[in-house]
Structure 1
């Protein structure tokens, strides 16, 4: 079925619904973060990933987990550094290596913003789905994610 004929009827409707839902959820979360915190969803994810990694990641690792091209990540890190939320550090041995480091101000900012972020996600998805449906959405999303990131993935 490499000709795309599988994307017809109910499968097409499911795909269109998925795309529409993803776009609208992202819009709700993006608007909340912009209005409440002055940052983008991508910038929030950088701060969150750094915190979850113990406060520092090599730039290449961060780009990889965020699926972000280096130039876009550098732009966002520069912006977050200007806000005092992150800083760059040179690798102690590998002179080409750079770390993104979450600052104390960045960690405090994330703590203040996180509850509202959770509320935005709840408004965008949680109110439409039961707890079991929400968990099933996560399970299915994880299945697609792993298939796309696994061995032989494009």
Structure 2
């Protein structure tokens, strides 16, 4: 087996397929959310994180960290979601520099309306093409990659 720049031919083919699959899945989910709800995948993830947080609120820094998003990009998205009435900013009661992002009732209602379609799009894009064993293996591999990069501080 030939090796090119640290990857064998088989490894390079697998890598190219991984990148292609990841790109196509992201595009399918972005397209679904844009067409069905008029939002981006990143905005959907903000809403779901806030929905799952205690009191439907998170400090902006914590939200940026769990989303692996730079603060400026998160601020832009929060401003857009606030303009739609789905999120609001609140000052921290004791830390004048601290801000919370809070999911509004309207935001929660919107999220709960679009989530079934989103889950169907995930199923169609990722789960349906795989057997149960393949999907379980995808989960194990994804978890391993995620933990590896978290441990490295990436």
- The answer to whether 1:48 aligns with 2:48 is yes
Offset from partner CA, 1:11-67 (integer Å, 9 cap, x none): 111111110000000000000000000000000000001111131110000000001
**TM-score, normalised with respect to structure 1:** 0.93
Q: Which moved more, 1:125-134 or 1:24-33?
A: 125-134
Tell me what 2:16 maps to: 16
* Deviation, structure 1 residue 130: 1.3
Q: Secondary structure at the match of 1:78?
A: helix
2:25 alignment counterpart: 25
Task: Report SS of the residue matched to 2:7.
Answer: coil
1:119 aligns to what? 120
Count, aligned residues: 150
Alignment of 1:3-152 (within 5 A): 5-54=5-54, 55-150=56-151, 152=152
Secondary structure at the counterpart of residue 90 of structure 2:
strand
2 CA distance for matches of 1:43 and 1:111?
14
3-state SS in 1 of match to 2:61:
helix
Query: Runs of 5+ in structure 1 lacking a partner?
Result: none
Cα distance in 1, alignment partners of residues 88 and 94 from structure 2: 18
Q: Provide structure 2 residue ranges, at least 5 long, that are not aligned to the other structure.
A: none
CA shift at 1:133, angstroms?
A: 1.4
Structure 2 SS opposite 1:36 = helix
Looking at structure 2, the residues matched to 120 and 28 of structure 1 have their Cα atoms a distance apart, in angstroms, of 8
Aligned residue for 1:95, secondary structure, equals coil
Give the structure 2 partner of residue 153 of structure 1.
153
* In structure 2, C-alpha distance between the alignment counterparts of 1:92 and 1:106, rounded to whole Å: 23
Looking at structure 1, the residues matched to 19 and 84 of structure 2 have their Cα atoms a distance apart, in angstroms, of: 33
Where does structure 1 differ by over 3 angstroms across 4 or more consecutive aligned residues?
Answer: none
TM-score by length of 2: 0.93
